[in-house]
Chains A and B, each alone.
Chain A
Amino acid sequence: MTAVLEGLGVAVPQRVVTNLDLERVLDTSDEWIRTRTGIGERRVADPGVATADLAVEAGARALKSAGGGPVDMVVVATTSPDRVVPATAPEVASRIGLEPVAAFDLNAVCSGFVYALAVAAGMLDGHATQRVLVIGAETLSRITDPADRSTAVLFGDGGGAAVLRRGEPGESGAFGPFDLGSDGSMADSLAMPAGGSRRPASTSTLTGREHYMRLDGKAVYRHAIARMVASSRAALDAARLSAGDIDRFVGHQANLRILDAVADRLGIAPQRRVVNVDRYGNTSAASIPLALADAQLAPGQRVLLTAFGGGFTWGATTLTWPRLATV
């Protein structure tokens, strides 16, 4: 028994913020942003649009691509939920018309989508679950300090979703084994310091701009490369595959130089790596489905997925691309 990909859908805000737009309001430049990150522009949700709105749109499209029908569970991977309490997923499930399905959020930051796929695959391995809707959606613009040039250039908003069903390992769309991991000693390297139980919201957290993400770029850069390489190797080994078997490499879209460094260390040719970080920036849990939807994958192609994010968390898996209806 294994999880099989049956549908894929995405949703991105219309509004585009280019590097030139950021040059006008921050001490940064298009050249600096492009050489350090590979990012040229990102999408930003209009005021009033929240993560659930992108999740609903992406989730409904994924279900349509999968031919509609019921699901037994909705998992929303996000690090920018609509509220701290309750989770975003129940609202998303209701608005898609899936009530009273099981629904919960999963926070593994930028590794969230890979983690959520693994959780779905685990549930499908039991008997009670036939089909799961996995959504990764973020409005990172809401937790990014517009005055912080080290983070404001990096992040974007978006959503992506996949429908997974029970199936057999040999099927088109079948996922291979997952590798997941974490290192909580690095928690402060990518964090929103306040708003949780450690530092509840107060006047001082507000004036200290502690409700925005803070990033130690060098630590993240170094660990991201090392962890995604090791996790990819573990997922490949578990699937009895080598890097040479991989037709397309879909890494978390945070930084083009990280993607290049990971692909290079794995021995995957540059033309096999999927890149859309130039157009969307880092959309955290939404980046993997957005990249999958953008990649124009052909049925039968062997795909390697890997992600790394705050926590630190990381994960990897493989799948054989199925024939999907585009919506």
Chain B
Amino acid sequence: MSAVYDRVKELLVEKFGVSADEVSPETTFEELDLDSLDLVEFAMAAEEELGVRISDEEAETIATVGDAAKLLEEKGANVGGA
């Protein structure tokens, strides 16, 4: 998996109380018990931590953790050294 995916996983564990072994690229936010407001907060955290702005509309297209990583990669997320 990519460095961005690893960073997304870290964010979910650190800020949303998700346990690391629950997370795979195919895991949906819903399966992690994260709702639409958590997704908004995830977008805010991604902006703060990775310097990428995700609009509310873009956030709505995210279903799985892999989707989130892909979107962030497309938008040029900077995870330092990656």
Residues of A whose CB lies within 8 Å of any CB of B are: 35-36, 216-219, 221-222, 225-226, 257, 261
In the bound complex, residues from chain B placing their C-beta under 8 Å from that of A35 are 35
Q: How far is the CA of A35 from the CA of B37 in the complex (A)?
A: 10
Q: Pick the residue among B35, B36, B41, B56 that contacts A219 (CB under 8 A).
A: B56
CB proximity of B68 to chain A, nearest CB, Å: 16
In the bound complex, residues from chain B placing their C-beta under 8 Å from that of A221 are 37, 40
B65 contacts chain A at the CB level, 8 A cutoff: no
In the bound complex, residues from chain A placing their C-beta under 8 Å from that of B11 are none
Contact of A261 with B35 in the complex, beta carbons under 8 Å: no
Contact of A226 with B44 in the complex, beta carbons under 8 Å: yes
In the bound complex, residues from chain A placing their C-beta under 8 Å from that of B40 are 218, 221-222
Contact of A222 with B35 in the complex, beta carbons under 8 Å: no
Among B37, B43, B59, max chain A CB count under 10 A is at B37
The majority secondary structure among interface residues of chain B is helix
In the bound complex, residues from chain B placing their C-beta under 8 Å from that of A225 are 41, 44
Q: A258's closest neighbor in chain B, by CB?
A: B37
Q: How far is the CA of A221 from the CA of B42 in the complex (A)?
A: 12
CB proximity of A217 to chain B, nearest CB, Å: 8
In the bound complex, residues from chain B placing their C-beta under 8 Å from that of A222 are 40, 43-44, 56
The majority secondary structure among interface residues of chain A is helix
Q: B44's closest neighbor in chain A, by CB?
A: A222
Nearest first, the 5 closest Cβ-Cβ pairs linking A and B are: A218-B56, A222-B40, A218-B40, A221-B40, A221-B37
A-B contact pairs, 9 of them (CB 8 A): A35-B35, A36-B35, A218-B36, A218-B37, A219-B56, A221-B40, A222-B40, A225-B41, A225-B44
Q: How far is the CA of A323 from the CA of B34 in the complex (A)?
A: 43
In the bound complex, residues from chain A placing their C-beta under 8 Å from that of B43 are 222
Q: A222's closest neighbor in chain B, by CB?
A: B40
The answer to whether A36 and B44 touch (CB under 8 A), given A218-B56, A219-B56, A222-B56, is no
In the bound complex, residues from chain A placing their C-beta under 8 Å from that of B44 are 222, 225-226
CB proximity of A64 to chain B, nearest CB, Å: 41
Q: How far is the CA of A218 from the CA of B43 in the complex (A)?
A: 11
CB proximity of B26 to chain A, nearest CB, Å: 25
CB proximity of A138 to chain B, nearest CB, Å: 24
Q: How far is the CA of A257 from the CA of B37 in the complex (A)?
A: 9
Q: A35's closest neighbor in chain B, by CB?
A: B35
Contact of A36 with B56 in the complex, beta carbons under 8 Å: no
In the bound complex, residues from chain B placing their C-beta under 8 Å from that of A216 are 56
Interface set, chain B 36-52, CB cutoff 8 A to A: 36-37, 40-41, 43-44
> Given A216-B56, A222-B56, 5 other A-B contacts at CB below 8 A?
A218-B37, A218-B59, A222-B44, A257-B37, A261-B41
In the bound complex, residues from chain B placing their C-beta under 8 Å from that of A226 are 44
In the bound complex, residues from chain A placing their C-beta under 8 Å from that of B41 are 225, 261
CB proximity of A312 to chain B, nearest CB, Å: 14
In the bound complex, residues from chain A placing their C-beta under 8 Å from that of B37 are 36, 217-218, 221, 257
CB proximity of B11 to chain A, nearest CB, Å: 14
CB proximity of B38 to chain A, nearest CB, Å: 9
Q: How far is the CA of A226 from the CA of B44 in the complex (A)?
A: 9
In the bound complex, residues from chain A placing their C-beta under 8 Å from that of B35 are 35-36
In the bound complex, residues from chain A placing their C-beta under 8 Å from that of B36 are 218
Among A35, A218, A225, max chain B CB count under 10 A is at A218
CB proximity of A164 to chain B, nearest CB, Å: 35
CB proximity of B55 to chain A, nearest CB, Å: 10
Q: A221's closest neighbor in chain B, by CB?
A: B40
CB proximity of B45 to chain A, nearest CB, Å: 10
Q: How far is the CA of A170 from the CA of B37 in the complex (A)?
A: 41
CB proximity of B40 to chain A, nearest CB, Å: 5
In the bound complex, residues from chain B placing their C-beta under 8 Å from that of A261 are 41
Q: How far is the CA of A222 from the CA of B41 in the complex (A)?
A: 7
